Every structure is written in C-alpha cells, then in structure tokens.
Structure 1
C-alpha cells in the first residue's frame, strides 16, 4: 500500500503533509485537504495489534475533549478485507472516522511497516509528528495533551 524503506526513510516532519484521501466505513469521503485549518491525527492500526487497541480509546478521549477546538482524527485499519466485521465492531466505540487501508490513498506517508503508526498534521497542513520514523510511540491521553494539545492552541 505505501512505499519507502524503514531503514533509510527520512522524516517528513516539518514538510507539507502528503495528500491523503479515504472512504470511511460509513461510506463518506475523507480528504486531508478538507481538514485544512484543523489539527489532524492520522493513525494506522489493526485489530490484532495490542498497542493499537490500547491507544485507540486515548484518541477517542482526546477527540471528545478537543473536537470543538478543531481536532480531526482518522483511524486507518490495515486489517485484511476478511476482517472488516471485526474492524466495524471495534470502530463502533469511536466517534471519529475509521477507514480500511484498502480504501485509502496515502502513498506519500512511507511504508507502514510496524503498528501503531501515527502522524500529526497542524492547521497549516504541515506534518508535525512523523510516526513512521524513530522509536514506536504508543499514545495515551497525557502524551496527546502534551504533544498535540499545543498545536490546537496555535492559530
């Protein structure tokens, strides 16, 4: 689905976020461009990924606390198509959109080679956190408030 080698991939942080479009589980079209002016969290996850299942509720809590502040979250499941029912069952607990990786065009984000991977884009469309490089981070509400919260206060 996505390209690049993890061994030599340079961070995209500080550069304009690559285009991203998706069709969500509820059939709606999602485009990163439509969310310019918002802080956007894009999270790649899977139902079989333990750390993913730990952090998804933190994204939901952060989304509930900050949606009105201009926060958007898109969770992209990389589960195989035969796991769609499991993805849908888990996604019922979240108010943010969820898409299957097969329904996403996001080639500029590099190869999704480990999970979870999270990208954070600021209001100006600049990628501020590139979860595809460096040590894997599992987000909790405290780390989201500390690292993403300040971006919500920028205008």
Structure 2
C-alpha cells in the first residue's frame, strides 16, 4: 500500500508522459500485480531461503522500479514542471531508494539465515524515517514547503488550511 500511495503522489508532480515513462509504469504495475502470488509463496515457504528471497526481491523490485520512474520523470525536469525544486526532487529520490535497501541486503543473508533476513526487513521504515530526518537536518524542508506553498497558491488554495 505504501508503494501505491507513493506512486500516486509522484504522479501528482508528473505533467507529461512519453513511451519510456509508460513502460516504467507498466513494469511497476506488473510487480504490484505479482505481489499476491509472491506473498502466497512466502506464506508457504517462509522457512526456506527461496520464500524469503522471492518476497525480498519482489519488494525491492517494486521500490527500485518506482525510484527509476521518479528518476526518469524528474531528470532535467523531463516530465515535471521546470520550477519543481531540485532539492525536493533529490530528497524524494533518497526516500525512494531507502525503502528497498533492506530487502536487497536481505537476499544474500537469506542464504545463511532466514530469521536474520526477516529481521533486516524491520530496517525499512527506520531507514525511510532516517532519510526524512537527514533531509530535515539539512534544512531543505523549508524549500520543499515553500514550493508546496507556491503550488497551492497557483491552484488557488490556502496552504495553511487543512480542509
């Protein structure tokens, strides 16, 4: 659900599309559609390396495909508004890459210990939160907020109201 929500959020910034974006999006959606099958496989074989590896590879593939989609759309403002803040783009990329990282790391670990690999998965939310904290510490949050405020103003919305 988190990846689907991120996908929806990213496409809120994408203003144009081309064949490559459509192909990346189809690849992302293919991995999403495969998730129930891989989750079922994991449910049956969670005690074997193959079950853990299949699930970790699936989650990593979803995350990396979404990151590739964001990178492609935002590279040199290819498919997004020219005034979309570079720091905002960069920060979203950091967050996009932080989530699949523990799943990638767990793949070789599953060959040694399934329990250790599963434990590494618990790092995913902490890495994402750590990435957000790092972004906030760097002081780039203000630029993101100011860009959001400018966008809201353009759309005729008051960024201060939460309605």
Structure number with bigger Rg: 2
User: Relative to total residues, which structure has the larger strand share, 1 or 2?
Assistant: 1
Same fold, TM-score > 0.5, yes or no: no
Normalising by the smaller structure, the TM-score range is under 0.3
Could you state the TM-score of these two structures normalised by the residue count of structure 1? Answer: 0.25
Higher relative CO (Cα under 8 Å, sequence separation at least 6) belongs to: 1
* TM-score, normalised via structure 2 length: 0.24
